[in-house]
Amino acid sequence: MANKFETEVLHSIHTEQKGIKSKATPIYQTSAFTFNDLDELEGFYQGEGSYLYSRVGNPNTDELGQSVAALEHAEDGVAASSGLAAILAGVLAVVKNGDHIVAADDVYGGSFHMLKAELERFGVETTFVSFSDLDKVEQAIKHNTKLLYTESITNPLLRVEKLEEVIALAKKRNLTVLVDNTFATPLHVRPFLLGADLVVHSATKYIGGHSDVTSGVVVGKKELIAEARARIVNLGANLSPFEAWLTCRGLKTLALRMKAQSKNAMLLADSLSGHQNVAKVYYPFSEGEEGFGAIVTIELAEHVDTDLLFKSLGWVKIVPTLAGVETTVSHPLKTSHRALPPEAQAELGITYRLVRISVGIENSDDIIEQFEAALAAAGK
């Protein structure tokens, strides 16, 4: 296999069935598969057949899981109905009632809510702590801790995780590591190669890339993916064949999109640094010469009218998500981190003046000019 990402992303996996040499994988838009007789049906349950029912498995969903696994250089992968479903499957592959998780306190708000509000109802406790201080992480580990959970680039404050250090701590304490790699994508970092056990993606975002699909993928060690797959099947968190096909189609342009978007993001972040109407710019400048991720988060200066900024963005759309090819903005306090307790929001800096920008593939000058115009209008 070629070792350059641009080639890998196009040729990593192609599902070919029954010798039909289609250039693109067909859509297997079926709820079930047929059998010639009862012996063949029984053969499926004995491991001799591939497909039974699309909740259990489908060539399109398999292609997505295996393709992302190949890009992450992981042993196996499985697709799910959303990024959060993939996270849940990854977590439940490791923990059960009575177990404990240590999670980064600056993760995506949906992940925070799932771990804190939902899993605790079923007897899985989570302690949230700053992963910027690994001494605090180690202090939070208990006798029943099974999992360390973090993000390669955090949402929305774009802290770049010290993955090697987190993984080293986990190995020392015999813990499993799950990393959400949605913001970085395999183009920028491959956590499994660094020693992570599980890696998840909200494939809705950069893997799919065109804001027209909701999907998730979890990849990692083979035995853990077997457990994750069982949770997806048994909890009904499977992805539909058509959405898997759409996500795979989007995946083929990941390298082109992510490189262009990351470069544009770095240029935008640089242009807004020091702007009189911007109090702070969050962007990992030091991580890549042509950008490191396509998200820029800014904190507006106190004199800037946040509501007016959102009304002055022209062609830049306001959305509750990210990662399409068009530049968009969201308001973390009102969307992604709405469910966090007020004290957690305040401690992290998720304020009314925080704006998360998902940078697209437009001309960088046009992106910069649009935000400068909006800031000028809101700063009067």
Does residue 366 have a pLDDT over 70? yes
Q: What is the pLDDT of residues 48-73, one digit of tens each?
A: 888 999 999 999 999 999 999 999 99
Torsion of CA 371, 335, 285, 367, to 10 degrees: -20
What pLDDT is stored for residue 244 in this prediction?
98
In percent, the amount of the chain with pLDDT more than 90 equals 87
CATH assignment of the domain containing 14: 3.40.640.10
The whole-chain average pLDDT of the chain stands at 95
Binning pLDDT at 50, 70 and 90, where does residue 17 land?
A: low
Catalytic residue list contains 173 = no
Domain carrying residue 260 = 254-378
271, 355: one domain: yes
185, 324: one domain: no
Catalytic residue list contains 180 = yes
Q: Single out the residue in 251, 285, 315 at which a domain terminates.
A: 251
Catalytic residue list contains 108 = yes
175, 225: one domain: yes
163, 36: one domain: yes
237, 263: one domain: no
Q: Which residue has the higher pLDDT, 146 or 17?
A: 146
98, 127: one domain: yes
Binning pLDDT at 50, 70 and 90, where does residue 1 land?
A: low
CA distance 202 to 68: 11
Exactly one of 116, 146, 190, 205 is catalytic; which is it? 205
pLDDT average, residue stretch 314-337: 95
Does residue 99 have a pLDDT over 90? yes
CATH assignment of the domain containing 302: 3.90.1150.10
CA distance 28 to 31: 9
pTM: predicted TM-score of the whole model, two decimal places:
0.95
Q: What is the pLDDT of residues 223-272, one digit of tens each?
A: 999 999 999 999 999 999 999 999 999 999 999 999 999 999 999 999 99
81, 179: one domain: yes
Question: What would the two tokens of residue 115 be?
Answer: 């771990």
Strand, helix or coil for residue 100: strand
Exactly one of 62, 76, 105, 180 is catalytic; which is it? 180
Interhelix angle 59-72/241-251, rounded to 10 degrees, is 30
Dihedral (CA of 324, 181, 15, 43) sign: negative
27, 156: one domain: yes
Residues 6+ apart with CB under 8 A from 111: 84, 87, 103, 149, 180
Total H helices, total E strands in the chain: 15, 12
Q: 160 φ, ψ to 5°?
A: -85, 120
236, 135: one domain: yes
Exactly one of 28, 108, 149, 282 is catalytic; which is it? 108
Q: Single out the residue in 236, 251, 266 at which a domain terminates.
A: 251
Binning pLDDT at 50, 70 and 90, where does residue 24 land?
A: confident
What pLDDT is stored for residue 350 in this prediction?
93
What pLDDT is stored for residue 277 in this prediction?
97
Residue 149 near residue 103, CB atoms below 8 Å:
yes
What pLDDT is stored for residue 144 in this prediction?
98
Exactly one of 53, 55, 136, 317 is catalytic; which is it? 55
DSSP string, 61-124: HHHHHHHHHHHHT-SEEEEESSHHHHHHHHHHTT--TT-EEEEETTS-HHHHHIIIIIGGGGT-
222, 280: one domain: no
Catalytic residue list contains 259 = no
What pLDDT is stored for residue 232 in this prediction?
98
Number of domains in the chain: 2
Q: What is the largest CA-CA distance in the chain?
A: 76
Question: What would the two tokens of residue 65 be?
Answer: 């899981």
Does residue 206 have a pLDDT over 90? yes
146, 175: one domain: yes
Does residue 131 have a pLDDT over 90? yes
Residue 101 near residue 127, CB atoms below 8 Å:
yes
| Side-chain half-sphere exposure of 351, counting CA atoms within 13 A | 12
281, 339: one domain: yes
Q: 379 exposed, middle or buried (CB, 10 Å; 0-12, 13-18, 19+)? A: middle
Binning pLDDT at 50, 70 and 90, where does residue 15 land?
A: low
Provide the residue count of the chain: 380
Binning pLDDT at 50, 70 and 90, where does residue 179 land?
A: very high
Q: What is the pLDDT of residues 148-168, one digit of tens each?
A: 999 999 999 999 999 999 999
Binning pLDDT at 50, 70 and 90, where does residue 123 land?
A: very high
Cα distance between the two ends of the chain: 56
